[in-house]
Structure 1
Amino acid sequence: MLRILDARTGEPVPAAPARRGLTRIATDASGLDPTALRVMLTADLLVRALELGGTPVWTILSAPRDQPELRTAATRLAIRPFEDDRDLASGLGEAQVIHVARREERARWTGRDPVPGEPAGGAAPGPAPEERGENPTAAGARGERAEGPATAPVARSAAGPTRDPVPGIRGEGPLVAVAPVEWAGPQQSLPVLLADPAALRLALLRVPRHQPARLDGGALDRAAGQLADWRRAMAGWARRPSRPVPEPVRARLRAAWENDLDLPGVLDVLRDVASTPDLTDGARFETYAYADRLLALDLARDLGSPA
């Protein structure tokens, strides 16, 4: 069962509390910037993970400004289409509403203080664990993801929670808070970031959503190189007889993404699968194809290309 960290309470909650019950993803992606794209990407990953678990999902987008441009950018980033922000689900018998928004909206909605050790304006962005040559999942096991609310529950402010409405974050239900994106390249514009949409998507997936994502040309180049390697490998594995995804591998993948959408953990599994000697190429191919139902990185793009 997929569990997500509720930024309202600092506690993990089921993303789909009712079996087969409709879950609505209400996404507040105001602003035309990389952080808005990351918010939309997080919503997209929630949709895909819930659908893989058999939960019907309905998504809406609240973007007071730049909505056409955001939708176009989201399409390029392989984010599934959103409905408009209208109360159309009132008669659909939804079991839960999950709100996805920028992390800075959390304090306005919950009346909570920043995460301990986090500056009021958000934690200072730094390189992701894999950019420092570390294993993100291993780092998490050592408790090194302390800058996000996943490891440090948010303290309730003395004044108590507020109920001032925030656009796109209305009503009850878990709140998924998404940390900002800082672009460190020479030009800060969406066209620059979206020159290779799949590389941008992978670069964002590498960083836990609770942590600020600091991107530059080098990070995008490394992501593009990783994608090229995986696509080339899949094209080669596809020439061998297919084999099922090994059950231990499937269990590791699901355990990762059902643990608050731990996408760095999912990527770690793929790296292990590529290098584990006792797996057949057919099993490697099916594992990557299965994981790509969530990742949406078009890993099978080069099938049939010359060796």
Structure 2
Amino acid sequence: MLRIADAHTGRIVEIPSAHRHLLRICVHLPATDNGIGAVHPRVLLLGDVLARTAELHGVQALTVLTAPDLPQEQVQALDRVMAVLGIRPPATVVAHHPSETSSAPADVHVLAHGTDQQDIVGGVQIAVGQVGTAPPDEGIPGSLDTAPEETDPLAVRMLLLGHAYRTPVMVTGAALAEARRTLRHWRQLVADWAQEPSRPIPADLLRQSHATLADNLGVPAVLDMLRSVETDTDVPAGAKFETFAHLDRVLGLDLAREVGHQRQVTP
């Protein structure tokens, strides 16, 4: 059972309801005059993390995406953004005109903060904070779907995951650089740990991480837990590998990317 703060009522709600093993998620992309905006990837990312968290807890998730009726080039750009950020495609995409309802039956509705909620009926509402970006000359790619490969778009995913989903985020060159450094560092550590004998994830760590994710998607706290595990000498290397690999099922940061590609040491 996951506990989510309902943006509409302010109450904590358990989802899905008792005796159900399917979580229906509806992700609402806001209509803007400029097409795809900075908040769109974050709304999509939150829906992805919610589905991954549900599945980690043994609940099947079904995601529907509702979006304005976009031109074909913007639809293709949206697909590329989802691909580079590691966001799994929704089961169904529903396009609608501005005069039509954007609602679909769901247990949880994920939408940008400030979005009109009048046409949403039933279900818990999750309001995602806005995203601001620094000018491109400060190291921010002008568009995720055209960013060069070396920028590692998953650094954007990590940067966004490092903030509680309700809080606004400013994407800066310095913040992206730090996220890239952390990703490179963790991937190398995971590759090194993979060479050691496997060990089970410590029971208390597994229990705490699952409880943190179930409590209103506490992903930033899980990232902090991984930072602690990284330097904890009481956790064997094999257990560190299993911990990072297990939680990456929700984080989606491709932390095992370098496994099998370790640097060769010359005797």
Q: TM-score, normalised by structure 2?
A: 0.85
Task: Give the aligned partner of residue 63 of structure 2.
Answer: 59
1:76 partner amino acid: V
User: Match for residue 214 of structure 1?
Assistant: 170
Tell me which of the two structures has the higher relative contact order, counting C-alpha pairs closer than 8 angstroms and 6 or more residues apart: 1
1:171 correspondence with 2:121:
yes
- Secondary structure in 1 matching 2:230: helix
Deviation at residue 96 of structure 1 after TM alignment: 5.2
1:211-258 C-alpha deviation (Å, 9 max, x unpaired): 101111111110000001100101111111000110011012112111
**Residues 109, 126 of structure 2: 8 Å contact kept:** yes
Equivalent position of 1:153 in the other structure = none
Matched with 1:247 is 203
The residue identity in structure 1 corresponding to 2:128 is V
| Match of residue 183 from structure 2 | 227
For residues 273-296 of structure 1, what are the alpha-carbon distances to aligned partners after superposition, in whole Å with 9 as ceiling and x for unaligned?
A: 111111100000000000000001
CA RMSD of aligned residues (A): 1.9
**Aligned AA (2:142):** S
Q: Distance in 1 between matches of 2:17 and 2:206?
A: 23
Supply the distance in 2 between the matched residues of 1:185 and 1:263 (Cα, whole angstroms). Answer: 27
Give the Å deviation of 1:80.
Answer: 0.6
In proportion to residue count, which structure has more strand? 2
Q: How does 1:61-140 map to 2 (within 5 A)?
A: 61-64=65-68, 65=70, 66-82=74-90, 83-85=92-94, 97-105=107-115, 108-109=116-117
Aligned to 2:99: none
Work out the number of aligned pairs and report it.
240
For 1:244 and 1:208, locate their aligned partners in 2 and report how far apart those are by CA, in whole Å: 29
Gaps of 5+ in 2: 96-104
What residue in structure 2 maps to residue 275 of structure 1?
Answer: 231
Identity across aligned pairs (percent)? 37
Q: d(CA) in 1 for partners of 2:4 and 2:17? A: 11
Q: Match for 2:132 among 174, 182, 187?
A: 182
Cα deviation digits, residues 43-91 of structure 1 (max 9, x gap): 00000001111111111111113333212211111001011128xxxxx
Q: Is the 8 A contact 2:26 2:106 kept in 1?
A: no
**Residue 300, structure 1, aligned to residue 253, structure 2:** no
Distance in 2, matches of 1:231 and 1:78, equals 16
| SS of aligned partner of 2:226 | helix
Further displaced range: 268-277 or 11-20: 11-20
Q: Give yes or no for contact 2:27–2:44 (8 Å, CA) kept in 1.
A: yes
Secondary structure of the 1:104 match is coil
Name the amino acid aligned to 2:75: Q
> 5+ residue gaps in structure 1?
87-94, 110-163
Amino acid paired to 2:129: A
> SS of 2:126's equivalent?
strand
Q: TM-score, normalised by structure 1?
A: 0.74
Q: Which moved more, 1:69-78 or 1:15-24?
A: 15-24
